[in-house]
Structure 1
Amino acid sequence: MRSSRSFEGEHSLRILAIFSMLMAFASISTDLYLPALPPVVAALRAGHGAVELTISGYLIVSSLGQCR
């Protein structure tokens, strides 16, 4: 039978791994999206400013999500 300390340690490591993966997604998403901006502008026939607002919106919402 496992002790409660062992279970708490495993639980903490699992949560740490999940949060680490979620934080990695934030960096990966911007790294993948920035080089795709010119094709997105061409595909949507939108202005550069309008497409750049999507990055601003993502960063704002991402930062608000981390405030809690």
Structure 2
Amino acid sequence: MGRKGDDTVYRDSQMPVAQARELLQLVTALHESSAHPGMESLFEIFQLELTLSIDIVESPPDWGAGEPTKH
């Protein structure tokens, strides 16, 4: 997936909503602690991604619901 010399880490996680809420609380606590200044932007991204994912599961969007699937 990565190119030679690329040290980027990619992640893709799946979990139940309850576990996502717990992870969101943990990430929020770490972010608010300011103990890891080099991670602040990642904490913000994780918080946004987790919040959006939880919201989508709890209140699925209805756009496109009436349209047939095109294959």
Query: Normalising to structure 2: TM-score of the pair?
Result: 0.39
**Which has the larger share of helix?**
1
Q: Which of the pair has the greater relative contact order for Cα pairs under 8 Å at 6+ separation? A: 2
